[in-house]
Chain A
Amino acid sequence: MEKVLLKNIDNPKSTDINEYMKAGGYSSLPKALGMQPKEIVEEVKRAGLRGRGGAGFPVAMKWTFASADPKFPKYLLCNADEGEPGTFKDRPILEKNPHLLIEGMAISGHALKAEYGFIYLRGEYPEAKHILDRAISQAYEKGLLGDNIAGKGVKFHLAVHQGAGAYICGEETALIESLEGDKGQPRIKPPFPVNVGVWSKPTVVNNVETLSNLPYIINVGGEAYAKIGTPDCPGPKLYCISGHVEKPGVYELPMGTILRDLIYTHGGGIRGGKNLKAVIPGGISTPVLPPDKIDCQMDFVNMPKNGSMLGSGAVIVMDESVCLVKVCYRALKFFEHESCGKCTPCREGTGWLRSILGRIENGEGVEGDIEMLLAVSGNIMGKTFCPLGDGAASVVQNFIKHFRPEFEEHIRTKACTAKGQL
């Protein structure tokens, strides 16, 4: 498959605007600016593009809602708060292909009649901040951002807003709060950001990878784009593989690549010839899978049928040496730390789950602990403002669902039975 998102990133000067243009970059922008905003939305609809942040929402539909709102100005926000543990797929775009994102945002801005854009970049990517700042000023110098972009009478201004270490800000309404200079606590929906978003104006929040598809879609047309991937989830996808594989990294592949192929073909298989024990397929908050569940297409439609989710496409591979009670405990430590504190089930529940998992892991578990974990999880699930609480609860439920004997053995023997030190 021709590289769309990671094209030319091996060029050491890939972040420079001249190199990007030499490779055909910024050729879609004038073409898009010559189109009516509605025509661009139609093209995206034909492409079948779905949001790559994890939810898989149809992009054209979100855009149509925001466009239909009569309020101005409208804002386009790029969610570059890639914080889901296991996820590092947007980093190569941000650090190696920043102009692809900028071009994609300028095109999307025109489609939405949004004159202002912000890239909400996680604080943990300081290098990306410097690279994006430089790329944006280069784009301004060339007249590709500003009051009259590419001389076509369209206005689009873009700036980077740096987050400060809060996973929750990847949730779109928390991101908006944070951009407004507040604590990143989610808002209740409705109203949705497409109507009442940042500074109470219609706002579209799209992921880095999503927006980076735009230049290609405009270039080849929605119909040709939709031939990549699966019929329900077209396009290329950035999958990132970490953990116990021979070749971890970010792979650009057609959407719908089989999980087994990702691990054994692209990822080179399990390190040191060990056996596979478990896979978290889409970032830490997606349900863990046992080895007999990896013959599934990785997309927004097939993963749920297989008992998990595509999430961010972040595959964490664990071999037989790993103690899954410990992994579950570490995950809950994370959720407790990142819970924003706004609603009680998540704020209190994640702490209790962490505490019970901690005592099981430390050989102090008691009979009834597993039932208590399930009871607490059940009291979080579906009862919180945002999906963070659901994610935490689902991690516990699915680790127990697939690996209950390991939890039971920890409690019974007061010790860890995994082969390794973990």
Chain B
Amino acid sequence: MFSEAAIKELEAIRDKYPSARGALLPAIYIAQREFGYLSPEAYEAVSAALGVPKATVRGVATFYAMYKHKPMGRHVVQLCTNVSCMILGAEKLVDYLKTKYGLEPGGMTSDGRFSLVIMECIGACGTAPAMLVNDDFYENLTEKYIEEILEKYA
């Protein structure tokens, strides 16, 4: 079940839509935050809160790339490798994360500190290569800069 705070938050969001179903995407975001990832309990909570069948919630959630279907590290590194980032060296940064942190695309560090997700363009092409760590943008990346950034995330 959702926490009291989450239910309140969801009710406020639901009021913005003419039907409860409209609040499904935001509700899945809330579930992801509450449960860490979209566990069976998370689906249950969304389904109960909006009166939408669990199978529908799952069907919608698995369509979108930013919903997480397995446990994630404490911090999620989201590195773009699309064309503008690629031609400015993003692939070397993927290799760097692998060798320096043991972080594979789609994987997690053994200490549970970081997960790595490869992104399809994050709209930072003019400052490529770029990534998000959780909700924070980092641009004009180099190996050294990545090391400095990741130190900030314990």
Contact = CB atoms under 8 A, between A and B. Distances in A.
Interface string B103-139: 0000000000000000111111111100010011100
Contacts, number: 141
A166 interface: yes
Contact of B87 (A123, A165, A243): A243
A87 B125 contact: yes
Nearest to A318: B87
A28 B131 CA distance: 38
Interface residues of B, number: 41
Contacts of A167: 120-121
A122 B64 CA distance: 11
Nearest to A250: B126
B2 interface: no
Nearest to B117: A165
Given A124-B122, A127-B137, A86 B16 contact: no
**Which of B81, B87, B119, B128 has the most A CB atoms < 10 Å from its CB?**
B87
B125 A242 contact: yes
A: interface residue count bin = 35 or more
Contacts of A87: 121, 123, 125
Given A165-B65, A422-B87, A330 B82 contact: yes
Contacts of A91: 123
Interface in B47-71: 52, 59-60, 63-67
B86 A330 contact: yes
Interface in A318-364: 318, 322, 326-327, 330-331, 334, 337-338, 340
Nearest to B90: A330
Given A184-B64, A284-B83, 19 more contacts: A83-B121, A85-B120, A87-B121, A87-B125, A88-B124, A124-B119, A159-B16, A164-B28, A165-B64, A166-B65, A167-B120, A167-B121, A180-B21, A182-B21, A182-B24, A242-B84, A248-B128, A340-B63, A422-B87
